Amino acid sequence: MLASTHTFGAGPLRGEITVPGDKSISHRALMLASLLDHPINIRGLNPGRDVQATREALIALEAAELTHEPVQIDCMNSGSTARMVLGICAGANRRAVFDGDESLRKRPMEPVAMQLRAFGARIHTTDGKLPLTIDGRTEPQTRSFILLSQSAQIKSALLLAGVAAQTPVTITNDGGSRDHTERMLRYLGADIISDGKRIELRSTQLRPHDIDVPGDLSAAAFFITAATLARDSDLTITGVNMNPTRTGIIEALRAMGANIEIINAREHCGEPLGSLRIRSATLTGTNIDPLVALRAIDELPLLAVAACFAHGSTRITGIRDLRTKESDRVAAIERLCASVGIACETEPNALTIHGGTPKAGGGTIATEGDHRTAMATAVLATAAGELSIDDARCIDVSFPEFIATMRSVQTT
């Protein structure tokens, strides 16, 4: 089947929208629900293919629970599914074969496998990547772990292994990565303490509570950035997750001069949320340090797009992990900048964008199947002019209704 192209145009964003349920929280809600003794209702699940991969992986595990044959798990394009469900298998002493699509097969799995081996899991990767097999586990070598990389997925895999094995665990050297797993465990009654650096899961006893998944800030970020850049925009996004480990995009855009107002801030199901009002603004270049970059890791292509329009230069450090996402997102940023005539200089762990007056020439951006590159192209087009993408279907990974939502609020 041929990829479907799509063209985005310029114009302000005005009105009010909602965004899909948070993808990260949706994964964790399904995984922890699978470890409960009683069923719960999960409302607002993200409708994308990544979360569908997790749902199908957990169904496969449940269906094969009483057999001794390895479970075949297709993670599709979802690294979250591969790494965190692997943690469940490690804790539950399950045998499974994990695989995924061509893109996921290129992404590193040895870092999570190595840490789960210390939990006793017998894991074999293919040159550090998928496909991999887990052949149950032996007695854990340790219940105290030092994170070797600041990865929320690896941290979550260890916590899920502890819950599945009903074994307390301690994790240090976190570095402030996303804490959705810790918050949801606490909401479900686990005895867990964390301070952003050290996590202690003292009791794995969970109580069933229904979960409402808030709107995904990573999805909202495309509209936040677009409304900031497109002249005469005034957009409200309701019910968005405002977890402080995820708000680096808002902090960085505000530092550049963005007009972003948080309305009706509150907490629900263990997560902070609120609504956002964004009005167009003139931006100035800034320095974005690794701590902010960590809290905006999925949104760094958007910050690069914003930097194209800023007066002066913007330097972003802490970008190394962008090379091993669904695609090489540093290379994607270079393509986006080049498409509108903006200079971008890259280093192994940093990039500098020299802002100016971006002007699109109607070109086509190669997405390499990456949903975030596709949607970042739309954001760039709202203020720079017409741009196309070579594959609109990849957007379905996280935000199937993105194009329709953009059309509903953009005036061209």
389-404 per-position pLDDT tens digit: 999 999 999 999 999 9
Q: How confident is the model over 142-151, as pLDDT tens digits?
A: 899 999 988 9
For 369, the token pair is 């199947």
Closest by alpha carbon to 35, among 78, 83, 88, 74?
88
Q: How confident is the model at residue 178 (pLDDT cuts 50, 70, 90)?
A: very high
Region 63-70: mean pLDDT is: 83
Q: How confident is the model at residue 21 (pLDDT cuts 50, 70, 90)?
A: very high
What's residue 3's pLDDT?
54
- Fold matches, 6-21+214-409 and 23-212: yes
Q: How confident is the model over 29-46, as pLDDT tens digits?
A: 999 999 999 999 999 999
* Helix%, strand%, coil% for the chain, nearest 5: 40, 25, 35
Q: How confident is the model at residue 273 (pLDDT cuts 50, 70, 90)?
A: very high
Q: Is 176 left (phi over 0), alpha (psi -120 to 50) or beta?
A: left
Q: How confident is the model at residue 385 (pLDDT cuts 50, 70, 90)?
A: very high
Q: Is the pLDDT of residue 165 over 80?
A: yes
Q: How confident is the model over 325-370, as pLDDT tens digits?
A: 888 999 999 999 999 999 999 999 999 999 999 999 899 999 999 9
CB 315 within 8 A of CB 308: no
Q: Is the pLDDT of residue 66 over 80?
A: no
In the chain, where are the structural domains located? Answer: 6-21+214-409, 23-212
Rounded to an integer, what distance in angstroms lies between the CA atom of residue 176 and that of residue 356? 33
Q: What single string gives the DSSP state of each residue in 149-210?
A: S--HHHHHHHHHHHHHHT--EEEE---S---HHHHHHHHTT-EEEE-SS-EEEEE-------
What's residue 2's pLDDT?
43
CB 387 within 8 A of CB 339: yes
What's residue 389's pLDDT?
97
Residue of 17 and 195 predicted with greater confidence: 17
Q: Is the pLDDT of residue 126 over 70?
A: yes
How crowded is residue 195: how many other Cβ atoms within 10 Å of its Cβ?
Answer: 9
CB 203 within 8 A of CB 191: yes
The H-or-E segment that residue 345 falls in is strand 343-347
CB 315 within 8 A of CB 304: no
- Catalytic annotation, residues: 298
Region 77-94: mean pLDDT is: 97
What's residue 35's pLDDT?
97
Q: Is the pLDDT of residue 97 over 50?
A: yes
Q: In whole numbers, what is the pLDDT of the chain averaged over residues?
A: 95
Region 196-217: mean pLDDT is: 96
CATH annotation of 6-21+214-409? 3.65.10.10
Domain 23-212 has what CATH class?
A: alpha beta
